[in-house]
Amino acid sequence: MYKNLSPNLKISITRSITQTFEQYMTDIAWSEDKFRIEDFISSWQEYITSKALWYSEIPEEIKYNEEFHEELAVRINESIARILQDPPTEKQIAAIQMAQEELGTHYEYNCKAEATYVEGLLKNIKK
């Protein structure tokens, strides 16, 4: 079912997963201890039903189909794995390292998205 959706619709779904996951992780300060998949899924469901323009393009019979939800779960897992495996850029590493030396902090980060969060956190501390 998911495979039969238009490429644009699949891209929109993936983008919404990515944006919602990164926002959820920011909301919990990228804390593994606070992470709950149920909370993330709830955030994503809220996003798609209230803000995602693509949601209305999916026929109702597909939205409530168990196979479609199983395929979406696979897509969600793949998207999260891709985010977590995307390494920080050299520019991010250098900027974070310099800021942490200046501020005397030691924030850890393991992926590009988390590095973006840490960069923002350090910029706010500098202000």
Complete DSSP assignment for 94-118: HHHHHHHHHHT------SHHHHHHH
Mean pLDDT (the chain, rounded): 95
pLDDT number for residue 77: 96
Same domain? 61 vs 101: no
pLDDT in tens, 31-57: 999 999 999 999 999 999 999 999 999
Regarding whether 65 and 40 lie in a shared domain, the answer is yes
Pair 53, 96 in one domain: no
Residue 25, burial from CB neighbour count under 10 angstroms (0-12, 13-18, 19+): buried
Q: What residue type is 56 in one-letter code?
A: S
Q: Are residues 6 and 63 in the same domain?
A: yes
User: Any idea how long the chain is?
Assistant: 127
Structural domain count, the chain: 2
For residues 27 and 64, membership in a common domain is answered with yes
Q: How confident is the model at residue 126 (pLDDT cuts 50, 70, 90)?
A: confident
